Amino acid sequence: MTRVAVIDSGVANVGSVVYALERLGVTPEVTADAGAIRAADRVILPGVGAAAPAMARLRQVGLDAVLRTLTQPLLGICLGMQLLFERSDEGDVECLGLLPGRVQRLVPGADARIPHMGWNALHDVRDVPLLDGIADGAQAYFVHGYAVPPGECALAACTHGVAFAAVVGQGRRFGAQFHPERSAAVGARLLRNFIENAS
């Protein structure tokens, strides 16, 4: 059975992520223990709130160093995805540097309120194992005010005023800007693909 660690970083409500995994028949270990995280087959980094306090918390408990040395598949969710990148304009903070790029504030407009909250369509969905069974136009649930512009590691995009990366991946490091645990069948499929097919 696949061992899944959900990182208890102190800056996330992990309950909904755990419940989503349990609906898939997976009982994850919620932990901040470096040994347990390194021993897992899959690691999930959820996050809510702001980048600066989140990175401060990871550094305080030494998890920034742990995350940088993981060799198994890692999935960041929402803020957890943003922390995988080099830097965030939210607090002008250095992040984990596991993926190339900078997190930028979304720009408000007449038809784009910030934060971006609610259902939105995925587009430019790549044919990769993480997105198996998820089609262009599939709807996912977003709650965020910052995002990463589509770049070399974007596996799917979304548009809210401007285009941004909705799903990213490079090597064994992946991220979803949307909340899979709140995205019904699309979110469940992404989580199942991560657990069963990410390599």
User: pLDDT tens for residues 23-32?
Assistant: 999 999 999 9
pLDDT at 74: 98
pLDDT at 11: 67
For the stretch 100-104, contacts whose Cβ atoms lie closer than 8 Å and that sit 24 or more positions apart, written own/partner, are 100/151, 100/152, 100/153, 100/170, 101/148, 101/149, 101/151, 101/153, 101/165, 102/148, 103/51, 103/146, 103/147, 103/148, 104/146, 104/147, 104/148, 104/149
Mean pLDDT of 136-157: 97
User: pLDDT tens for residues 54-100?
Assistant: 999 999 999 999 999 999 999 999 999 999 999 999 999 999 999 99
The answer to whether residue 110 scores a pLDDT higher than 90 is no
Mean pLDDT of 157-180: 97
**Is the full-model pTM beyond 0.85?**
yes
The residues that are catalytic are 78, 179, 181
The answer to whether residue 13 scores a pLDDT higher than 80 is no
Report all structural domains of the chain as residue ranges with CATH numbers, in order of start. 4-197 (3.40.50.880)
pLDDT at 184: 96
